[in-house]
Each structure stands twice: as structure tokens, then as C-alpha cells.
Structure 1
């Protein structure tokens, strides 16, 4: 018996180690919950303008409180370099990020690399960078990204996701990084931004975001090009803004594209922006419910989440008509789709 007992213990210990339960074993990667997201980049400006928000009962509440009650667990914030009025600048973004994180929201940061809107139609240089060379642009991208990420970290915020560029269908910082004319320089700029993100916050996932999530040809072209120049990224982000008449078709095409991106590049995918007619909340809810289900069905849990773009915009705010509140600032049923996930 004295000889057999140590042998039995040794065998048991070996089994524990092989099963991954021993002290030195690596724990399985934690799967984060599906990101039910909302972009709230206009919030500071709307509050300063005196805009109020009302819940289902018509009671005035903080926008974030209302969103949280409707299943939103993640917040997206855009960053501009030197915005004219300060909104969406570094200080404003840090303030909103701290506020959201304190309420339990996960955070996505979206670098536009412009003083105002940058999207698939335009990618203007910041005024201060107007006369920079390509090498100076890369350095500016790195230090701007680093500065914002460091400010967030200093205030206790570690973004879960960071977009390097917004709707970069044809690159960014035109014409230095225009994909259709110089894929190599586009890739170099993306590398600079991604490097700054990972230097400050290695755990943050770098997201590269294009519009028209249903356009598989566009996505293959851009990501094949970036991969050819050695760009590394974690997540492919997509925008989708359908109409009442075509959302079923576009949702299916977007799912097909998401599945292809996962298969082709081995990356995770997400819907970074989505929106539909604010005057049709029932139809918008149906659209969102279907898109959330489809995104969640991507194999390997690689469909990370869906972010509604500026649901709190209402009453003709900046002429945006795809929010999720009615004309008097009361939330509609559109966002109830997130409660069903």
C-alpha cells in the first residue's frame, strides 16, 4: 500500500494537469457578452443645448439611464483632432467615457483623424496637418492616438475596442492615405494608429471600419490590400443604413459578408453603426432584431455586437432622422430589439 499510494497520487496529479485544472494551466479565454451598443457622440452638445430625454413612461431621465434600461451595455464615442466647438475633442471624449464606464458600460473609441466628420465620402486632413508630409502624417496619427488613449488610461478607462479610422472605404487622410491611389501609404497610416493603441492599451481590440456592410467586393479589396502590406487588426467593423423596403435583403447580404470576413481573415466582426427611419420604430425594431440575431449567429462567437448610431438624436437635431426617440425626446420601441438579445 505504501508504494501504491504515491503512484496513485502522481497519476491523479497528471490527470489534473492534462485537464487544464492545475495551478499553472491556462484558463480558457473569457467570452464577453454580446455588445448591445449605442453611439452617443452628440450627448454633451445636446445637453448643453438644453435637450431632455424621456423614458417609456414619459419621465425625464439621463440618456444613459434610459439606454441601459433598454439593454444597451456598450457606448461608442468619436474623436476629432481639433473640433471647432470642443465637442468630440479629447477632453469631451474622456469625460463621456468616464461617465459611461462608471455606469457599467463598455467603451468603444472611434478615431476620425479629422477636425470634423470623416466617412466614406470624405476624409479631410485636420487643419494643423494640412502641410504635413506623409511621414509627418504618420507621426501625427501615432501621437494623436497615443495622447487620447493615454488620457483615457490616466482617467481609469480602458476601451474594449478602438477604431483606427471611420468608414475607411477608400482609406483615410486624403490624399496621403487614399487606398485607391496608394494602398501602401494607407496601410502605413493604419499601422501607426494601431501601434499607438496597442502601446497604451494592449488589451484593446483594433477595429477597422467600412460602410455598406453588404458589399463583399469592397471589403475583400480593402482587407486584402491591408493584409498584403502586413497590417494587423482584431475586428472588422461595418456600417448598415437600410431603408424600410430593403433591410431584409441587406441584412442577409451583411451576414454573408460577415461570415466571409471571418473565414477569409480569421477576424471577429461587428456592426459599428446602424440606423433606420426614426418615424418607423416598429419596422426599425424588426430590422434590428433580425440584424442582432444574424450577427450573433456568426460562427465561433465572432459576431461581437451591434451599435445603433446616435439613437438620442431627435427633433431635427443636425438634420439626422435615423434616431430612436420621437420628436419630443421620448424613446420609441425601436431599441426594444436589444432587450430580446
Structure 2
């Protein structure tokens, strides 16, 4: 998700109790051992740099990665910006977090935004350094940058299990040339450039094309029909899903139907790369995630790969975000019990 795009989603969130998890309940129902139970914690180093502390369910201060692992998280998703003005989420910062996660045995997903800041359905701005390039130059710059980041991870002994080439690319990326509604050919060229760059460094990393609104089958067919027609390459179809506390069951059902169609139509695995819900409604959030994970896990031939929570560690209205899964006490809420075994 992108911060400018998501802030509008949170104004309707209702207030409630702190939802702190004071138990270590297991979620009901088991999912297979290789299922991705993930968290995007890209804000973590910035929060730590501001003095934010993290605690486990009983109030003992611990490393956030360890707390999440103890709650059942097995995969960490990390965004990377090209040249952010404040330095957070640049290549160096992303790798620092990846190293910490890998030391705990967590899998890694890298989320390339291909921008100096947030990329989302409403914002796909080229990095400033690429602004004067023609399209061929942008393709080459994207390829070289991707290889450089992947090589930098490799030097640290990290081979990401998953790599997103673009973030919520509903209408393409690297606008205006890569805007899908203007040129699906160009968007497909960029996706393939990213795919090839990842595979040059790590043939085992699974490449994800990520689209928001996982319930919107028409959108997904438009994007992936266009990519397929133009010869683009990908390994996994990624989705975001951010329902409200009152409509989540309907959206989960629509998402399930969409996932089934994507698997049948493109013979491609699917993954829910981002979810989130009102931090003040943790019990409902747990139900939402548990139900969604069960649906993803039920997909045929193990083609439902997993579910990841977006920035669960954010709390106390960090950056105006109110869909995390930590209470104002800095402890995980019961929402994260959905990931426990």
C-alpha cells in the first residue's frame, strides 16, 4: 500500500478498547506448514529511530521481529524506494531489516516500488534520477537498479523467497510511459524487465505482480489478460484486501472467487500480500484474517500461498495509520493470533 492512498481509508475507523492480547491462544484450524504467514514491517527502523519500543503480549520489551515470530509470522515483507528524501526504506535500510529477519530464520519478500516514495494505484511516479530518460532508458535503469538491489542482498547472504516488481500496479508503473491504460505493451515490458533482473541474480526467487482490490475480478482480468497478451512474465499474482469490520465476510468471498479465477485462467499461484483492518477492532480483525487464510489455504493444488499483514507493528497513530495490530501499549493485539498454529 502507499501512505497517501491509504490515509483516506482510515477516517471511518471506530474507536474501542486497546485490544491488547493477554493470552497466547492458538487460532482455530490448521494450515499447511509452508503457508506464508507474513508481515510488512518496513516502518520498523524508522519507528525505532524515533524511540518507539515494542513488547510481547505480557509487556516484556523484545525485538519486534522476535515478537512477530513468536506470534506465528514466518515471512517479512520489506519495501524499497530508489532514493527517498529521508533515507528510510532505501536499499541500505531495507537490507538492514532483512538481515535481522533472516537471522531469526524468517523468509524475506522484497517489495520494489520503483519510485523515490510511495507507489500505489494513485501514484506511480518515476524516480527523480530517471525522469529525463526515454522509455528504453527507464527500462534499462529499472533492470540495473533491480540487479543492484538483489546483488546487495546476496552479498549479505540473503536470497529473497519472493520479490514484487512494482507495488499495487493496478494501472501500471513508472508513469506516464508505463501506465497500463495508456500502453499495456510498455507496462508488460517493465514487468518482464523486472522479472528478468530478479532471475539473473536469484533463479529461485518467485516474482510477484501485485494489484490492489483483491475482490475486483474485472480489474485483475484486465491487468493479467493484458500482461499475458504482451508476453509478460510473472510467477505469482499478488493481491491487497482492506475491507471494513462490517463487510469483510462479503469481500473475503469475492476475493476467493477472484483467486479461483486467477488460478484457473492463468495457472498461477496467488498470494494476499497486504491486509489490514481497524486496530481498535482486533477480535473482528482476527476473524477476518483467519477466514481469509483458510480460504487461501483451501485453493486447489496448494496454489494459495499465504497472507501478509501490512505494518502490524504500527501503533499510537504512527504516521496517521490506524490499521495496525499493536495496541497503544506497544503490544500485539489478538488480531495476530490468526497467524498462530
Query: 2:337 aligns to what SS in structure 1?
Result: helix
Match of residue 153 from structure 1 = 154
CA offsets per residue over residues 50-86 of structure 1, 9 Å max, x none? 0001111111111111101110000000010001111
Query: 2:73 aligns to what SS in structure 1?
Result: coil
Match of residue 105 from structure 2 = 104
CA offsets per residue over residues 91-117 of structure 1, 9 Å max, x none? 111111111111010000000000010
Match of residue 322 from structure 1 = 323
Larger Rg: 1
Of stretches 137-146 and 323-332 in structure 1, the one that deviates more from structure 2 is: 323-332
CA offsets per residue over residues 136-191 of structure 1, 9 Å max, x none? 10001001100000000111000000000000000001101000010001111111
Match of residue 188 from structure 2 = 187
List aligned pairs for 1:1-341, cutoff 5 A: 33-340=34-341
CA offsets per residue over residues 258-282 of structure 1, 9 Å max, x none? 1110000001000000000000000
Aligned residues: 310
Distance (whole Å) between structure 2 residues aligned to residue 311 and residue 336 of structure 1: 12
Gaps of at least 5 residues in structure 2 are 1-31
TM-score normalised according to structure 2 size: 0.90
TM-score normalised according to structure 1 size: 0.90
Per-residue deviation, 1:32: 6.7
Distance (whole Å) between structure 1 residues aligned to residue 325 and residue 134 of structure 2: 42
RMSD, aligned CA: 0.9
Q: Considering Cα pairs closer than 8 Å and 6+ residues apart, tell me whether 1 or 2 has the greater RCO.
A: 2
Per-residue deviation, 1:123: 0.4
Query: 1:206 aligns to what SS in structure 2?
Result: strand
Runs of 4+ in 1 over 2 A off after TM superposition: none
Per-residue deviation, 1:328: 2.3
